[in-house]
Structure 1
Amino acid sequence: MNAYPEFYHLAAERYSCRKYTNAPVSRELIMAVLDTVRLAPSACNKQPWKFLVLDTPELRDIVIRSYSRDWIKEAPVYIVALGLHDEAWHRSFDGKDHTDVDVSIAVEHLCLGAASLGLGTCWVCNFDPAIVREGLNLPDNVEPIAIIPMGYPDSDGTVPEKKRKPFDEIVKWGKY
């Protein structure tokens, strides 16, 4: 039972791409993807984020030095998602900072937007933030949260199998 066939298909087909062609991604296409980020919701509409596009060899080298796996070198462009904790909404009851939540929503918009345009992406969170912070001259109040390599997938068009928990393991009705 699927009430949203186009969106469901997009979500089902999107995967973490770790193999890219060497074709460049046009600035126009990058801007179209990033416009989906601009549309992402956030707590109290604070939008506590910035997204840096790294597409030159010098800037790409910062990411390559911060992440030890070779596959990332193939992607022609990286987008670094930055969190602005001092601009985020903080829940009054316990002070919970929603920066990570808001940036995650925006990154998922980015990944789905890229997939809708035929581009592959992958969330990368296991990187050395000190290298990224220093290389990109980030102020102390700006946190590098994720790196998103982006490019044209180098595949035969088949979507890798996604291992997902069954519906009844993740959804409950009523109380826990």
Structure 2
Amino acid sequence: MEFLSLAKQRCSVRKYKTDEIEKEKLDKILEAARIAPTAANAQSQRLLVISSQEAKEKLSKGVNYHGAPLAIIVCGDHSDVFVRPFDKKDMVSVDATIVADHIVLEAEDLGLSSCWLTYFDPEIIRNEFNIPSNLEPIAIIALGYADTEKASPDRHSKDRKALESLVCYETF
């Protein structure tokens, strides 16, 4: 699919069928995450795939994952990340966000739906899944087959700011 069409088609879904995600599709999604660009190619992302009923029950203690059959907790490793030398900013959030974007776009291309979740209690997630202190949970991606009508790709003409209000040339 053409990239802009894919990007416009992708939307957050909050109601999923119970159908499991095929292993071949999950493997492609994880490969898309693996090849995502990261700052200085540090590859600071760490992914935790949640699919068992037990793990989903633990997940639900810290986030509403909308009953998706699968979720991926996208973490960044603060001990293995590029740090910008000028201001010492570590790029964990940047790297993890790029990875999460690859996940949701690959899922969409495979006919799956997703919801990018950031409204979660990181301490509950950390404790429930024994996430080490050097890893920071950045996002949780719910994945599955939509059990609801998806938003129209045409929504962007109304729901997004005009390009002119977002882009400047040469100086602000």
Same fold (TM over 0.5): yes
Give the equivalent residue in structure 2 for 1:31.
Answer: 27
Give the equivalent residue in structure 2 for 1:138.
Answer: 131
In the alignment, is residue 6 of structure 1 matched against residue 2 of structure 2? yes
- Rounded Cα–Cα distance in structure 2 between residues aligned with 1:157 and 1:106: 23
In the alignment, is residue 170 of structure 1 matched against residue 143 of structure 2? no
Query: Does the Cα contact within 8 Å between 2:12 and 2:113 map onto a contact in 1?
Result: yes
Give the equivalent residue in structure 1 for 2:53.
Answer: 57
Aligned-residue offset at 1:158: 5.2
Give the equivalent residue in structure 2 for 1:21.
Answer: 17
Query: Does the Cα contact within 8 Å between 2:118 and 2:138 map onto a contact in 1?
Result: yes
Aligned-residue offset at 1:73: 3.9
Percent identical among aligned pairs is 37
Aligned to 2:116, the other structure's residue is in SS state: coil
Give the equivalent residue in structure 2 for 1:99.
Answer: 92
2:83 aligns with one of 70, 86, 90: 90
- Rounded Cα–Cα distance in structure 2 between residues aligned with 1:133 and 1:78: 15
Aligned-residue offset at 1:95: 0.2
Give the equivalent residue in structure 2 for 1:80.
Answer: 73
Moved over 3 A (4+): none
Give the equivalent residue in structure 2 for 1:129.
Answer: 122
Structure 1 unmatched runs, 5+: none
- Rounded Cα–Cα distance in structure 2 between residues aligned with 1:152 and 1:132: 24
The AA in structure 1 aligned to 2:29 is V
Structure 2 unmatched runs, 5+: none
TM-score with structure 1 length normalisation?
A: 0.91
The AA in structure 1 aligned to 2:18 is N
